[in-house]
Amino acid sequence: MREAFHDQLDAIFTDLAEICGQVEVAVHQATESLLTGDASIAEAVISADAVIDANRERVEDNAFALLSLQQPVAGDLRTVVSALRMVSELERMGDLSVHVAKIARLRVPNIAVPDSVLGTIVKMAEVAEDMVRRVKSIISRRDVEAAIELGRDDEVMDQLRRRSFAELLSDDWNHGVEAAVDIALLGRYYERIADHAVSVANRVVFVVTGEQPQRG
């Protein structure tokens, strides 16, 4: 009985890693649509979000079933509750990718990102996608060291966010209010994807050790 229960727990984490992989694709494609002005890619991201939502519901159903039927305690309860919180974070990361894609679609046939801030936005997108990719591995392996390292590396995204604000507030900004709003939102979306990635990684640490990681 307990062996079957732990197999079900492992299956939930397999599903979480799968959803994280879907989010990674969403982040990548949303950025591609943003940088190319390709409306079809943006639409694909928006449509695919329904799959992430459906998978989130499946994980929640399975987790609630374990809670009601198995009545786990101690470490097992910690694992199930953490999984419920993690899947919510992953779904939100998918939603943020949709927000990026919608900005891209809104500006078609133009590109939403002015050349003067292109480097910063591209780097933010790269960091966000890399963090999602690493979280997928962290979930699959329940890798505490990698999870803690991811939290420390989040400072890179924070620095990029500050740089984007500096560029927006610069006297050299001549792209108008509309572009400024787009860049402010895009910076926020990528930053939040990174924040959620760190939160998921921290929950993995909590599942394995029973303690929350300390930010340095």
pLDDT at 2: 65
Let me know: does 44 contact 115? Beta carbons within 8 Å: no
**Domain assignment present for 216:** no
Q: Which of 100, 94, 129, 127 is nearest to 36 (CA)?
A: 100
**Reported confidence tier of residue 215, pLDDT bands at 50, 70, 90:** low
Q: Which pLDDT tens digit goes with each residue over 40-70? A: 999 999 999 999 999 999 999 999 998 888 7
Residues 6+ apart with CB under 8 A from 21: 136
**Domain assignment present for 98:** yes
**Domain assignment present for 214:** no
* Number of domains present in the structure of the chain: 1
Per-residue CA distances from 128 to 76, 114, 154, 161, 189 (Å): 31, 20, 9, 12, 10
Residue type, 51: V
% the chain with pLDDT above 70:
98
Residue type, 109: P
pLDDT exceeds cutoff 90 at 74? no
DSSP string covering 74-143: HHHHHHHHHHHHHHHHHHHHHHHHHHHHHHHHHHTTS-SS-HHHHHHHHHHHHHHHHHHHHHHHHHHHT-
Q: Which pLDDT tens digit goes with each residue over 150-198? A: 988 889 999 999 999 999 889 899 999 999 999 999 999 999 999 999 9
Taking the C-alpha atoms of residue 84 and residue 194, their distance in angstroms, rounded to an integer, is 19
**Domain assignment present for 215:** no
CATH assignment at residue 122: 1.20.58.220
**Domain assignment present for 153:** yes
Q: Which of 204, 31, 2 is nearest to 123 (CA)?
A: 31
pLDDT exceeds cutoff 60 at 92? yes
> Which residues constitute the domain of residue 156?
2-209
